[in-house]
Amino acid sequence: MKAVLQNVKTGVVSIEEIPQPILKPGNVLVRNVCSLVSAGTEKAVLDFSKSNYLQKARKRPDLVRKVLNRAKNEGLWQTYKIVSNLIDQPIALGYSCAGTVIEVGAEVGDISPGQRVACAGLFVATHAEVVSVPRNLVVAIPDGVAFDEASFVTLGAIAMQGVRLASLELGESVLVYGLGLVGMVAAQLASAAGCRVFGVDIDPAKLDMVTRMGCTAVPLDDSTERALLQATRGYGVDKVLLCAATKSNDPIERIPAMTRQKGVVVVVGDVSMNIPRRDYYEKEIDIRLSRSYGPGRYDPTYEEGGTDYPFAYVRWTENRNMVAVLDLAAQRKIDLAALVSHRYEIANALKAYDLIEGKSGEKYLGVVIDYPAAGTAGKTAQLRPQAAARTASNNDISLGVIGAGNFAKAFLLPAFKARPGVRFDAICTASGVSSFSVAQKYRASKTTSNPDEIFNDPAIDAVLVATRHDSHARYVQKAIESGKAIFVEKPMATTMQDLDAIREAYLASEAAGRKPLLMVGFNRRFSPLSLAVHNLVRQRGEPLSMVYRVNAGFVAGTEWVQDPTQGGGRIIGEVCHFIDLMTYFCGSLPTEVFALPMLRSGRAVDDIASITVRFADGSIGTVHYFANGDPSLPKEYVEVFVGGLAIQLSNFRSVSVHGGRLGARSRYLNQVKGFNEEATAFVDALRAGGPPPISFAELYAVSRATLAAVESMHGGRPVQV
């Protein structure tokens, strides 16, 4: 299907053929008829992407701090490679569209195929022939509302939320400062609410339009304040909806002179807010910030998880704001069609971006992209050629990749790409956008959004899985049953039930005479520094005492990794790494786990815990996993004590030995965490048909120990592995 993409690194916008997105549970698959280009938001994205590194840094100092901390802890070159891999990728543009439902996912019972709907959401309601959108970001289009009008649903909901925060009352005077799309809709909404509306802008064409909508136009010049005071009997306006988008501080400085005592200013647009305190203080002006299109925005449990807020307690969610805007359009209380100034078919969508970047010199307002009725998108995503694949030799390893998020792009894909004779044949992602970019970068011949295409392809030797954690066990079982080797990023499973199902599939495959090759991405044991420590401590031939301190860093509870279903929580998602490294060092399987979480107000904190593990040979190890530290401290620090030796492994950059000699390189300029080495080990095992780099007994025991740690945290007692 056709989609509008932009490269984050270069800023180049292009129309590309990408796989149709997969229909997720709780989502709605929609064939677009129209989508709306948000000139303000999308132009800001264009400007950011086209700026140089210094300009980007000035705009996002928060990201600069993260990069600097990473460079300090992991090395400059390592950080440069990671950042380069992450920014050299496209994003899907657009976040407001309308079309017809193709199919609905599980748990969606109130939307039907063939129904007309409008959709919202960054990276989901995009400029593409087909979109997959979570249910709470989809609303039915009322009769009498055309698709092009409905494509304004996101911008309309943004305006609606600003109007709601202003708490308008019948007969009040309302100033709409900035008459872009959001401002135009806000002006109509305020007028429909029975208010006297003044529209302020520098553009005469927009002033003419707002006048035709029944509002009073006021040019933005030296006489603006005087004109508004005269029109309001010297009091000033009751409410201000600041809908401008500008880096200038001029709007926030001028507004007090136009506003009455104890007036209300709602900031809707992206404006500078260096507030002149005295001007606002003397009038006791109430400043309110409107957060996008309503309650639910930025809450993954609402937007992605489909959990609605109770109607009685949260009357106006973002979904209900979207409904209200379209209802008003159906009642002809607001005119959205009048805001359309330009239209382009998807094949010519680049002209829309030339327009908003000012290349054509034309004035514009609402820019709509139309999608032909007979588009190229099919109901089922098919493998599509993206680039000329290398000629395969008998020794080549053909990889199919499922999942290409930031971790895979930064670490796994570059590591496997560097192995001689390895080629990527097929890339599968849920959205289709990442698969397109990864296929281009790594010269893969096929892209898809359907994992079955990879498992059923006889040309693919091995599957690399880097999806969200809840799908790992399913793909591992499928690979074993289909006879394909599989490299799955940790964790192997998020529940004991799934882990045991993998074990049954693995043992059944072995019993049938096959040699399943399964590897979990426990990269740390493959670091050259880990190997050196392992070789040193194994010479002693006695149990180890180990302390593993992890400065994990804060992760918000709303992130997917913290979700008990998708991510399984941070202990399951990450602590398996550290238990595996201790298992590797002592050469023995874990047998018992006791975990103590930190208590906050009497409740366990799930990502701050001390986890002690006993091993079969008598070794003990404790993982201190702390998410309440400062990120400037290096993340990982391991101490190993055995037979008169004390060894310190610092963040996989250096090793120091007290009481002995390492006998190998002990220091690296950049972090060496074992990604390249684990890729080599997997490829070599696959090519040789030999045993897996990590035995299944170890993979299973480490996974069980990690799950047992969570059980121990909640049960307050040791758990046998």
| 3-class DSSP state of 341 | strand
pLDDT at 386: 46
* Least reliable range by pLDDT among 363-372, 519-528, 557-566, 580-589: 557-566
571 or 61, higher pLDDT: 571
The Cα angle at residue 357 between residues 353 and 360, in degrees rounded to 5: 85
Q: 10: pLDDT confidence band, cut at 50, 70 and 90?
A: confident
| 3-class DSSP state of 8 | coil
Helix (H) / strand (E) containing 44: helix 39-50
pLDDT at 667: 93
Cβ-proximal residues to 495 (8 Å cutoff; 6+ apart), any chain: 473, 568, 707
541: left (phi over 0), alpha (psi -120 to 50) or beta: left
Domains along the chain with CATH numbers: 2-152+336-370 (3.90.180.10), 159-289 (3.40.50.720), 397-520 (3.40.50.720), 523-674+688-720 (3.30.360.10)
| Cα within 13 Å of Cα(169), Cβ side | 5
Tracing tokens 């030796």 back to the chain, one arrives at 645
In this predicted model, what pLDDT tens digit does every residue of 195-244 receive, in sequence order? 999 999 999 999 999 999 999 999 999 999 999 999 999 999 999 999 99
**Residues of the chain above pLDDT 90, percent:** 75
pLDDT at 143: 96
In this predicted model, what pLDDT tens digit does every residue of 402-441 receive, in sequence order? 998 888 988 999 999 999 999 999 999 888 888 888 888 8
CA–CA gap between residue 85 and residue 667 (Å, rounded)? 25
Cβ-proximal residues to 703 (8 Å cutoff; 6+ apart), any chain: 491, 492, 493, 499, 520, 576
Q: What is the DSSP string of 421-489?
A: TEEEEEEE-SSSHHHHHHHHHHT-SEEES-HHHHHT-TT--EEEE-S-GGGHHHHHHHHHHHT-EEEEP
CA–CA gap between residue 29 and residue 22 (Å, rounded)? 8
* Least reliable range by pLDDT among 81-90, 99-108, 357-366: 81-90
| 3-class DSSP state of 328 | helix
Q: Are 269 and 240 in contact (CB under 8 A)?
A: no
pLDDT at 650: 96
CA–CA gap between residue 269 and residue 191 (Å, rounded)? 19
pLDDT at 80: 62
Cβ-proximal residues to 250 (8 Å cutoff; 6+ apart), any chain: none
pLDDT at 540: 84
In this predicted model, what pLDDT tens digit does every residue of 556-597 receive, in sequence order? 888 889 988 889 999 999 999 999 999 999 999 999 999 999
CA–CA gap between residue 242 and residue 200 (Å, rounded)? 10
pLDDT at 61: 61
How many C-beta atoms surround the C-beta of residue 304 within 10 A? 21
In this predicted model, what pLDDT tens digit does every residue of 648-670 receive, in sequence order? 999 999 999 999 999 889 999 88
| Pairing relationship of beta strands 485-488 and 462-465 according to DSSP bridges | parallel
Phi, psi torsion values for 97, nearest 5 degrees? -155, 175
DSSP H helices, 259-395, are 277-283, 300-303, 318-330, 350-356
Q: 53: pLDDT confidence band, cut at 50, 70 and 90?
A: low
**E strand segments, 61-137:** 90-92, 96-104, 116-120, 130-134
pLDDT at 54: 56
Kindly state the tokens that stand for 627: 């998410």
- Give the pLDDT mean for 508-529: 94
| Cα within 13 Å of Cα(279), Cβ side | 14
- Give the pLDDT mean for 615-641: 96
Phi, psi torsion values for 276, nearest 5 degrees? -75, 100
In this predicted model, what pLDDT tens digit does every residue of 127-144 receive, in sequence order? 999 999 999 999 999 999
pLDDT at 391: 42
| Pairing relationship of beta strands 196-201 and 2-7 according to DSSP bridges | unpaired
